[in-house]
Amino acid sequence: MGFDVRVLEAIGVAAAVYLFVWLGWRLIWKKTKKSPVLSLHLVAISLGVWMGAKIFYPGENWVGHLGAGLIFFGAIFCWVIIDLIIDGALFRKQNVAMPIILRQLGGLLVALGTLSVILIWGYDVKLTGLVAATSGVAAVIVGFAAQDLLANVLGGFSIHITGAYKVGDWLLLDEDGRRAEVTEINWRSTRALDNDKISYEIPNSEMVKKRIVNLNYPSAEHGVRLRIGLDYDTPPALAKEVLIKCSKDAQGVLESPAPVVFTREFGDSSITYEVRFWMRHARLYNATCDEIRTALWYELGRRDMRIPFPIRTLDVRTPNVPASFASARENAAKILRSGGMLSCLSEEEAADLVAKGILKVFGPREALVTRGEKGESMFLILEGSVEVVGKMSEGPRVVLATLSTGNSFGEMSLVTGEPRNATVRAVADVMVLEIRKDDISPLIAARPELAVSIGEVLESRQKSWEEGLNRAAEESGPKGVSASAGHQSIVKRIRLFFGQ
């Protein structure tokens, strides 16, 4: 029995048809993001095999079976195309995701319907008798085996119909405040991804039974409550002031509504306060709470306020500050005279001024001074760096400069008493020396020429600040700030402020 050459010819025809269909479809579908890859492969292969068999084996019975397969895969392919068109044209353009359950249900119905038509008209199978014969046994088996599956399917439909949540929403998964983003709602379960990139798959039947807390409904802006205990020696009014200050500057916290603080309870060793702030992005929850607590530690340390804890033993400790900060005050006088408006001081005058100053430590992103607040002091950076942030009247915040060790800021408020004209934030841990009006008043009284020197430095810095804001105003559209008043007027204000 010799080799049948028709086999190779049929394979060649099948390959040619497959390539023709595949390449032709790629040319038609190349501008779209999605393509029916699997179903297209199946249709192209089944069409090529059927045509090769039809041409070279026209009288064989098995060619009809290949035709039945082609019809089945062709129906599946048509449903995939219709699904992509509906999902892209009707849903995606309106920024609405088509429920995956409906898409999968449609595909299942098309597959079962096509298979039924092939069996009835192609193979003359009486489905009514077959169904009647097996329905009793199947009903019992399915009734016991598919209880959970049916409950999950009905739960999935309930979630879609009621709109309790959708893909992209953030949910509270339990009473512990665990937050996760919904990534998929399928037949059986809801999948969610939390801030630690841990995926959770929760059966739909459980989701519809429990209380659903949707952080994105009715809007993405939602309130967050954070409980913190402070010492009984701290007056509640002062405690609320500190908590609000640490909360409003944290990333993710909205300016409006502004943070508020409630006194919750009087505990065994502390008064518990509850900070309520508003945020828009639930993914920032952990970072926001961490930033508030971190800023609170630094602020309480600067105000000599204690964080309460049960005392069991006598613990004598050294201050928990970086080693590089320990010698900062020793170098402060040298830094003070190395540049800036007080570089004209003698060694004795600088040492005396440093001795009167107050050392303060600030943490990352903490605001050392805030634009618009009152102040009568300046700050000398002894360790670390800060960012100077300005704001136009009708524009966004602008980073005007980054200051590091040896630089100073706040001189205008120190010598004129004017409100702060910019916000200064710590880039990382930073130590500064605060010099107040009472510290420098004796020097200006003894040496009136200091007013002129200080005025020249401040005029130069104010001009640089205005130029930075005006450049930002030209880029974003709003009007810039007014021109500088000149150092002569600043000198006059300095003398007036110190009673000269």
pLDDT at 127 over 50: yes
Would you give the DSSP letter of residue 282?
G
pLDDT digits 0-9 by tens, 354-385: 888 888 889 888 989 988 888 888 888 888 89
Q: Residue 298 — very low, low, confident or very high, per pLDDT cuts 50/70/90? A: very high
Note the pLDDT of residue 226. 92
Is there a contact between 423 and 362 (Cβ–Cβ < 8 Å)? Answer: no
Q: Are 334 and 452 within one domain? A: yes
Residue 141 belongs to a domain: no
Cα–Cα dist 495/500, whole Å: 5
Residue 139 lies in a domain: no
Total count of domains within the chain: 4
- Checking if the pLDDT of 465 tops 90, the result is no
148: confidence class by pLDDT, cuts 50, 70, 90: low
Average pLDDT of the chain to the nearest whole number: 78
Buried b (16+ CB within 10 A) or exposed e, 468-484: bbeebbeeeeeebbeeb
d(CA 198, CA 36): 30
Question: What is the mean pLDDT of the segment spanning 337-347?
Answer: 73
Residue 296 and residue 395 in one domain = no
Query: Over the stretch 188-207, which tens digit does the pLDDT of each residue have?
Result: 788 888 888 888 888 888 88
Is pLDDT at 292 greater than 90 in this prediction? Answer: yes
Tokens (6 digits) for 42: 């199946």
DSSP bridge pairs for 185:
190
pLDDT at position 424, please?
Answer: 92
What average pLDDT does range 163-173 have in this prediction?
Answer: 85
Q: Is the pLDDT of residue 300 over 80?
A: yes
Mean pLDDT along residues 275-297? 91
Residue 322 lies in a domain: no
**Count of beta carbons in the 10 Å neighbourhood of residue 272:** 15
Q: What is the CATH number of the domain that holds 359?
A: 2.60.120.10
pTM: 0.56
Would you tell me the crossing angle of helices 450-476 and 437-446 to the nearest 10 degrees?
130
- Each residue of 13-59: pLDDT tens digit? 888 888 888 787 777 766 555 667 777 788 888 888 888 887 877 87
Strands (E), 165-296: 170-172, 179-185, 189-194, 199-203, 213-214, 222-230, 260-266, 271-279
The verdict on 203 and 112 lying in the same domain is no
Structure tokens at 108: 């299942």
204 and 242, same structural domain? no
Domain that holds residue 233: 222-302
pLDDT in tens, 303-327: 888 887 765 555 566 655 555 555 6
In a domain, 156, yes or no: no
In sign, the C-alpha dihedral spanning 180, 183, 185, 190 is negative
Same domain (yes/no): 9, 77:
yes
Residue after which a domain boundary falls, among 214, 231, 254: 214
What radius of gyration, in Å, describes the C-alpha atoms of the chain?
A: 37
User: What would the mean pLDDT of 412-438 be, rounded to a whole number?
Assistant: 86
In a domain, 335, yes or no: yes
Q: Is residue 470 part of a domain?
A: yes
CB of 227 closer than 8 Å to CB of 272:
yes
